[in-house]
Homo-oligomer: A and B are copies of this chain.
């Protein structure tokens, strides 16, 4: 499958590497497609990765991954172009983190809204699925947690088939599956786990920790 990954930070690169490692053709969308560092990186990735603009990537991608910083999410959707996202699964990895008061961050959305919902509204014909936002990027692909052989990703979105597609991708990445917390309004609570994740990371001095849903 052709996959557009919008965002050329660590989160976007890690996902691009993951999709490429599973045999997909990746078009990494960025505001700076001429960046020589990015071209160098793309050349080192195992598998097919091309670099282009947000619109290039979104046009070519059969599935689109939004992996930019929270404050860049809506501009990236705008730059990608609504028409290029129409009818496609859009995996939303973004977090509305507010660092204006330093660390640890807060959220720039409240609990009566979410960035996931804003993105769904900005691209109404896309099938937005919130995923990957609750874990650190080192765990996106081939996740590894001591004593936890079955890791599940928390996801939310309005389209059941799109969530199935994302769950299939998660399984191919080494996750046991997903836990579906409902419509895209569930993004409110997935996003709200992230300031807590940062605090827990500070307490434990790690960035590779993962929420596990334990049950008896």
- Known A179-B204, A195-B189, A199-B182: A215·B145 in contact at CB below 8 Å: yes
A188 contacts which chain B residues (CB < 8 A)? 106, 195
A189-B192, A193-B192 known; A204+B213 contact, CB < 8 A: yes
* Contact residue among B202, B211, B215 (Cβ-Cβ distance under 8 Å from A208): B215
Interface residues of A in 182-210 (CB under 8 A from B): 182, 186, 188-190, 192-193, 195-196, 199-200, 202-204, 206, 208-210
Cα distance A211–B107 in the bound complex, in angstroms: 21
- Choose, from A1-9, A118-126, A146-154, A168-176, the stretch at the interface: A146-154
B111 x A200 contact (CB < 8 A): no
> Is the Cβ of A148 less than 8 Å from the Cβ of B214?
yes
Q: Interface residues, chain A, CB within 8 Å of chain B? A: 104, 106-107, 109-112, 144-148, 151, 154, 179-182, 186, 188-190, 192-193, 195-196, 199-200, 202-204, 206, 208-216
Taking a contact as CB atoms under 8 Å apart, the answer to whether B182 and A215 are in contact is no
Asked if B179 and A200 make an inter-chain contact with CB atoms under 8 angstroms apart, the answer reads yes
Question: Which of A109, A192, A193, A204: most chain B Cβ within 10 A?
Answer: A192
Interchain residue pairs with CB less than 8 A apart (18): A107-B111, A109-B111, A110-B112, A111-B192, A111-B195, A146-B215, A147-B147, A179-B204, A180-B203, A188-B195, A189-B192, A189-B193, A189-B199, A193-B196, A210-B213, A210-B214, A211-B211, A211-B213
Q: Which of A104, A154, A186, A199 gathers most chain B CB within 10 Å?
A: A199
Cβ distance A173 to chain B, nearest Cβ, rounded Å: 16
Q: Apart from A106-B112, A193-B193, A200-B213, what 20 extra A-B contacts exist at CB < 8 Å?
A: A106-B111, A109-B111, A110-B112, A111-B111, A146-B214, A147-B147, A148-B212, A148-B214, A181-B200, A186-B196, A189-B192, A189-B193, A189-B195, A204-B213, A206-B216, A208-B216, A209-B215, A211-B211, A211-B212, A211-B214
